Amino acid sequence: MERMFEIEEALYPFESHFFEYKPYGYIHYLDEGPKDAPAIVLFHGNPSYSLLYSEIIQLLRGKFRCIAPDYLGFGFSSKPDYHEYGYTPQEHSDAMIAFLETLDLSEFSVFVQDWGGPIGLNAACEFAEKIKCLFIGNTWAWPFRHNTKMGEASRGFSHKMGGYPMKEKIMEKNTFLTISIPLLIRGMRKRNPDLVPALKQAYLAPFEKPEHRIPTWVFPREITHSYPFLFFLEQKLEVLLEKPTILFWGEQDKVFPTIVREEWEKKLKAYRRVDLPKASHFFQSEEPDLIAEEITKELRG
């Protein structure tokens, strides 16, 4: 298969791979590095895709196998009709479980951020005996409780951005991506400003058509609508909580403030914390060198 849009090679110097996920189409993924090296599967959130991990993968692929899928509706993956595939976290996670089964890895680590947390960790629970390490950052894996500060904030965000009036705005004006672009390009703006226009276009390209923007609306809606999925995930998560973990945290993130990090610290049994005081929500693109260094220390230590 071919990619559905062009991307600057300097941003994305990789070969594409595709996994057929019947009956919905093809899941695009990157598979970089030696096949016999320790494997890391990297899960993205909304509205990003494997591009978010590009610099980290380039730094790690000489010594690790880096696998980064794009969920259906994101990046270079197929875009099934909304009436056939609902783009919910449960559906994305089921697709990732099927994808991981096909890879048949003997052992692997996972990196999760944003919606990659619920999606990737739910999938990882199905392969708990194969999980070596967890790399967790600016994400969650439980329902936000009512009558808490985070619960009230997340519910307000969900109702505003995931409500039906916003659906029309997102389809017409690509609203969710528009408000996310400044955060997605924040790291590149500091390191290589010349690549910023190409990076911006690479994030806009998957959502060029109005009907392709629905997945970016579904995710905010699901903060509240996926309460059962998140509730059962929190129970299942016990099988992973003793795994060696690095807890990365972009401290400038207004989406996931430090109270969410503190909740992780109550749950995790064998973690070390790496604070990223200058990084925001998409911290992977802001601190790739430090992240790659910490991953290398963890997996080689």
Q: What are the catalytic residues? A: 114, 253, 281
179 CB burial (10 A radius; 0-12, 13-18, 19+): exposed
Q: List Cα–Cα distances, 92 to 151, 215, 220, in angstroms.
A: 23, 11, 14
User: Would you say how long the chain is, in residues?
Assistant: 301
**68 φ, ψ to 5°?**
-135, 105
Taking the C-alpha atoms of residue 43 and residue 177, their distance in angstroms, rounded to an integer, is: 18
Residue 114 is inside which H or E element, if any? strand 108-114
Taking the C-alpha atoms of residue 99 and residue 17, their distance in angstroms, rounded to an integer, is: 12
Taking the C-alpha atoms of residue 88 and residue 106, their distance in angstroms, rounded to an integer, is: 28
**53 φ, ψ to 5°?**
-100, 5
According to DSSP, the residues that pair with 41 across neighbouring strands are 67, 110
Taking the C-alpha atoms of residue 213 and residue 215, their distance in angstroms, rounded to an integer, is: 6
